[in-house]
Amino acid sequence: MSDSRYTVIPHYLLTFFAGMVELGVPILLLYHNTPIWLIGLFASLYHLGYVIKDSLKLDDKNWHTPFPMVLLAPSLLLLASSMILGNMWLLGVSLLSSNTLIQTVRSLYKNSVRINSSVKNISRILGFAAAGITTLYSFTIAILAIAICFLVSTFPPTVGKVNKSGNRSRGQESEPSEAKYLLLFEFLHHTHYFMYCYFLIYLLSVKFNSSLELAGILFVIGWIGYGIDAALIHTFRLSYPVLGHIVSSVSIVLIAVADKLEYTLLLWFLTGVGGGTAFVLDFATSLKLKRSRREVYENLGHVIGPLMAVLVILLSNIEHVFVVAGLICCLAAFVIALPKIIYSFS
């Protein structure tokens, strides 16, 4: 049996790798001068991996063989090869398959050992920050893929003994009527964010001639805002997400018309501070809002958001992606406040 002190390392490295690939693929598409709408399509393919993992309950199965780990190695190496070669067809297939397996194996580790959420979040943010450099020097992707395969095989999760406690409970507890508004808010929150976030890289690169190598580091500025909220929010207060998403909505629309890099980065930071108020849902325990229920709406937003961006770009232009995303963000603020509005008039 592997030492749990080392078993957590593959989980954090997989989280780092996932963040690096999530942002690295849009950067790679920009580097190869592909049509801008492909960024949204490939982003949806990446996030579809979460949906497949959850829909097939791949991390709930009592694996008696290291089946997901065996498939992970060739999938990661195929992804690295497609990024090095710049083959878009191969990249699409390998992106979907590799993220499905990455998220499955990450969940198996999470069910086997205790994962520190702060270290996990830092690992993802570091993956974003490194995305520009590692993607444009693609041989590093192959090196990391090989390192992950080695660590997963050396310190595998405990398969066949999945921990199904906590949020994975399948109890039939009823949810109050307010819960449906919170779940709709969850969907709109993630839809609006993933509709525009990857296209920020496009604005930084094309509009302001920012280096693609630095794209990941600049992207992290928005996540600093999220991190501030995560550290400060410890209770459910309706005013937080309402005001926060109004601020975020205005900031997103202004990004579309900002004419200076520093203004754009400031607005990007404010979208993180405003959008991060969604962390209040973690404290909506009185509404029995299970994390597993929220993940369904969260994952749908991850997939639908980028596809909506594709539609807007094909029908209009990139600036309108930010305008529509801002409107959806404002709608999210209205939806989460709706139960209180209804109650006040009843």
Query: Domains, the chain, ranges and CATH?
Result: 4-161 (1.20.1250), 175-345 (1.20.1250.20)
Q: At what angle do helices 215-232 and 117-136 cross, to 10 degrees?
A: 170
- The per-residue pLDDT for 286 is 52
Structure confidence at residue 66 (pLDDT): 65
| DSSP letter assigned to residue 235 | S
Residue 220, both tokens: 């992290």
222: nearest Cα among 194, 260, 242, 187 = 194
| pLDDT tens, residue by residue, 218-239 | 999 999 988 888 888 888 888 9
Helix axis angle for 117-136 and 4-31, nearest 10°, is 40
Residue 147 CA to residue 140 CA, distance in Å, equals 10
Alpha-carbon distance of 92 to 142, in angstroms, equals 17
Q: According to the model, what pLDDT value does residue 248 have?
A: 97
- Three-state SS string over 38-105 comes to HHHHHHHHHHHHHHHHHHCCCCCCCCCCCHHHHHHHHHHHHHHHHHHHCCHHHHHHHHHHHHHHHHHH
| Interatomic CA distance for residues 246 and 202, integer angstroms | 24
d(CA 193, CA 271): 9
Contact residues for 44 (Cβ-Cβ < 8 A; gap 6+): 303, 304, 306, 307, 310
Integer Cα distance of 328 and 343 in angstroms: 23
Report the alpha-carbon distance of residue 194 to residue 203 in Å, rounded.
Answer: 15
Q: What angle do CA 151, 152, 153 make, to 5 degrees?
A: 90
- What pLDDT, on the 0 to 100 scale, is given for residue 343? 63
Mean pLDDT by 10 residues, the chain (346 residues): 68 94 94 95 96 85 64 89 90 94 89 84 93 84 86 74 45 63 94 97 91 91 89 86 96 95 96 92 68 87 98 96 98 91 61
Burial-class residue 208 by CB neighbours within 10 Å (0-12, 13-18, 19+): middle
Residue with tokens 């018309």: 257
Instruction: Give 111-132 pLDDT, tens digit per residue.
Output: 888 888 888 889 999 999 999 9
List pLDDT tens digits, range 91-114: 999 999 999 999 999 988 888 888
Count the Cβ atoms, other than its own, within 10 Å of residue 5: 9
* DSSP structural state of residue 281: G
HSE, CB side, 13 Å, CA atoms: give it for residue 248: 33
Furthest CA-CA distance within the chain: 62
Q: What is the dihedral of CA 50, 29, 250, 303, to 10 degrees?
A: -20
CA 157 to chain centre: 23
Contact 176, 313 (CB under 8 A): no
- In angstroms, rounded to a whole number, what is the distance separating the alpha carbons of residues 333 and 283? 17
Task: Please say whether the beta carbons of 329 and 192 come within 8 A.
Answer: yes
- Rounded to 5 degrees, φ, ψ at 214 are -90, -5
Quote the pLDDT of residue 115.
85
What pLDDT sits at residue 217? Answer: 93
Name every residue whose Cβ is closer than 8 Å to that of residue 108 and which is 6 or more positions away in sequence.
59, 63, 68, 157, 159, 162
- Per-residue confidence (pLDDT) for residue 258, from 0 to 100: 94
Q: Look up tokens 């041989």; give the residue.
A: 139
Two structure tokens written together for 233: 């929010």
Residue 1: its pLDDT value, please? 42
